Structure 1
């Protein structure tokens, strides 16, 4: 196959494929059908250090209403996740305690704060009692769906959505006990239309705080809403990241909190074998890739490109050669991306070509091979160690053995050496023409 023309016209773009934080968060919610095992140690800073710490291993220890337990088990939660073990006893304590918590997407934090809201609601009270802020319409709807599923047996507890498009006439009496909404619309409901009596709120949840402060004006609007709440209202804030701006915002909005943060456990690459091919250009990379594809029995593979243009070209080249591949990039809508990932999870596509939009959070048991068609670099063109780790970490999940192949141009060998030094590991060189050696790798 002669793809020189296509390759020469397909030079690397300087700008990587990037997607907004809110889209990444929504994508993780859409694709997480089950809890992800967290690879973090939970660290707790208590408001009152003298108070005993509790954690739970089964939901029965929380002494929940039977209809809530029924809802939890119907959703498929058999036991509390790591964040739930520690956070739920704090959130359900009497008297209520405020909480700032860090948690990855997919670890069960939405279910945790939803459980807290449903536990605090008095069903006989036909007025708003719990308020949850999400940064976007789509994230608000996802949270609302969790409330509806978990609370399906709480027949007298209802949810209302304070989001764009849900026009409520002035003077309407809102009887739903749980309000899920975005800051701008909730602000209108509170102050312009006076639909919510903030003095009656029992629980205030601010979800996706890192996404919230990434959106213009949302942090100011959230602070205005929080200040209208009574001192007795329990306040819960969740964020996937705890960079300094997030911490400052969290401490501004949540008084006297308990704080749960995550310290990453030492990640090892002992179950991953790493190799590299020295390739002159994209044509040589593509040939090496085809040799790997032809020599090794692949369960499923993910191929990472640094740019959107490179990913589109590679998808075209492999499809033209008769390979069935799926393409995942930031120009797809969130729903389209979720559909591509789900098809890959279901085994309908064996090879997924993607940019860094897919480097985190996607755990597919059948993935045995990861290919870095381009080594990950940061904006200064130095090796991006964290992205490299997350990329190759897609193989060898769940304790299985995995293979990682790196396609490296001669001038990029220093990047590979930097990655080796950083992770104190060995990445062995392979000859892409040595089919016998490739076949031995798979044994």
Structure 2
């Protein structure tokens, strides 16, 4: 079993600074969202994105692997991989692992959503990379929050279950270390502030001896100014030969600029945009006057459809709570998900919903990203997604309705329209995606059945 530093109970979770709630609606906190995805993912997402690989040296052959055996891993490590239930590499692992394990080492910038197997990929790379005979820190991995660092550590512990000589330490706030003693753990996972202290102030880690540096969730990291600067300061202490691996779910310009600063001469793995999300989803809108009207429409809709599971999005917590109470009165099994819940509470609600214990999930925006429940057949925008200026928030719309029609299955998305402004939003969404959204009269059962069959 992997040796683990005793994490003392006086640890204070590091609150991400890029959160905060808007007055009226729940705001998505990127670090919390990422943690939530890790908590609720027990298996890899079947990703349909094509992977685009840009090699540092375009003349060298591009290796990809279809089995873990091809990677020539140590037997104990291969045993750990299979023990975790990974039968074959995921799409991103096929391409990334040969680059991460290459000799001489290659640097990598990779785009990957949560659930694509990237944590397992770089955990495997670190475990393969270390020399257990050397009792000093060789691999360093930083993540934006305390909880995310613990999640990565758990993956390494599981995967390294049969590698007893490889030890792991958590560089997180509250894990007090004696000054002046060099760490003997070969792998350190932590948050930027603590890891920087361990390298500079306490000198527990000798940065010049680090041969692999992993920076996870770069997009979340740079959203917090302090973390961005601390990461760069850690990076500056490493040698030129240290292998750099950087992962990010999104690749906006700010992430690229940061990545280029930290990762010289990289190979790049990018996910091509998945444009086809809307092909299996039928989209409708229903004209309503007020929330009671919307509620009636929702009940009619639910009554006429054979629905496996539904997800309903509201703009505010107050509206979500009102809707949950009324649906429960009507006898529906409803779960509520909103931002005042802890990440663990949210994970447990999603788990119940995923296991079919509740058929309807009412939620604010906190839940629009990354939740893969295969049986969702209906998504309802009780409130349409709008940005700060009151225009259509197309990206959120796509994330929300993308919860249905997954894995090639048919799905339905119904939008509630209660004003001229809402109708404008529908028109903006139609224009943006170049798809027609059909008007639906939920009081006409025959019409509804013909449209939705």
- Same fold (TM > 0.5): yes
Task: Report whether the alignment pairs 1:438 with 2:448.
Answer: yes
Task: Report whether the alignment pairs 1:92 with 2:106.
Answer: no
Q: For 1:269, what is the secondary structure of its paired residue?
A: helix
130-139 or 422-431: bigger deviation: 422-431
**Cα deviations across residues 389-424 of structure 1 (Å, max 9, x unaligned)?**
221121121211112211112412222222223323
Task: Report whether the alignment pairs 1:428 with 2:445.
Answer: no
After TM superposition, give the deviation of residue 116 of structure 1 in Å. 0.8
Q: For 1:138, what is the secondary structure of its paired residue?
A: helix
Q: 2: CA distance between counterparts of 1:436 and 1:265? A: 35
After TM superposition, give the deviation of residue 319 of structure 1 in Å. 2.1
2:60 aligns with 51
Change in Cα spacing, 1:322 to 1:98, as seen in structure 2 (3 Å) is same
**Cα deviations across residues 153-200 of structure 1 (Å, max 9, x unaligned)?**
111111111111111111334221111111111111111111112222
1:244 aligns with 253
Q: 2: CA distance between counterparts of 1:218 and 1:414? A: 40
Task: Report whether the alignment pairs 1:258 with 2:257.
Answer: no
Q: 1: CA distance between counterparts of 2:251 and 2:69? A: 31
Contact kept in structure 2, 1:297 and 1:442, CA below 8 Å: no
Task: Report whether the alignment pairs 1:276 with 2:285.
Answer: yes
**Cα deviations across residues 349-384 of structure 1 (Å, max 9, x unaligned)?**
110001222112111122111111112111121122
Q: 2:373 aligns with which of 345, 361, 364?
A: 364
Q: 1:116 aligns with which of 122, 125, 147?
A: 125
Contact kept in structure 2, 1:345 and 1:364, CA below 8 Å: yes
Q: For 1:327, what is the secondary structure of its paired residue?
A: strand
Change in Cα spacing, 1:37 to 1:232, as seen in structure 2 (3 Å) is same
Task: Report whether the alignment pairs 1:140 with 2:156.
Answer: no
2:16 aligns with none
Q: 2: CA distance between counterparts of 1:434 and 1:387? A: 30
Q: 2: CA distance between counterparts of 1:270 and 1:356? A: 23
316-325 or 210-219: bigger deviation: 316-325
1:334 aligns with 343
Contact kept in structure 2, 1:123 and 1:157, CA below 8 Å: yes
Q: 1: CA distance between counterparts of 2:180 and 2:419? A: 70
Q: 1: CA distance between counterparts of 2:148 and 2:350? A: 19
Q: Which runs of 5+ in 2 are unaligned?
A: 1-21
Q: 2: CA distance between counterparts of 1:397 and 1:328? A: 21
1:6 aligns with none
**Cα deviations across residues 55-83 of structure 1 (Å, max 9, x unaligned)?**
11111111111111111111111111111
Q: 2: CA distance between counterparts of 1:268 and 1:186? A: 40
Q: 2: CA distance between counterparts of 1:33 and 1:108? A: 11
267-276 or 402-411: bigger deviation: 267-276
Q: 2: CA distance between counterparts of 1:245 and 1:431? A: 45
Q: For 1:192, what is the secondary structure of its paired residue?
A: coil
2:300 aligns with 291
Q: 1:36 aligns with which of 33, 45, 53?
A: 45
1:9 aligns with none
Contact kept in structure 1, 2:310 and 2:378, CA below 8 Å: yes
Q: 1: CA distance between counterparts of 2:170 and 2:141? A: 10
Q: 2: CA distance between counterparts of 1:57 and 1:269? A: 29
Contact kept in structure 1, 2:46 and 2:407, CA below 8 Å: no
Change in Cα spacing, 1:150 to 1:416, as seen in structure 2 (3 Å) is same
Please list, as runs of the form range in 1=range in 2, the aligned pairs for 1:218-229 lying within 5 A after superposition. 218-229=227-238
Contact kept in structure 1, 2:277 and 2:402, CA below 8 Å: no
**Cα deviations across residues 235-286 of structure 1 (Å, max 9, x unaligned)?**
1111111111111111111222212222213215332222221101111101
Contact kept in structure 1, 2:28 and 2:365, CA below 8 Å: no
364-373 or 134-143: bigger deviation: 364-373
After TM superposition, give the deviation of residue 441 of structure 1 in Å. 5.2
2:175 aligns with 166
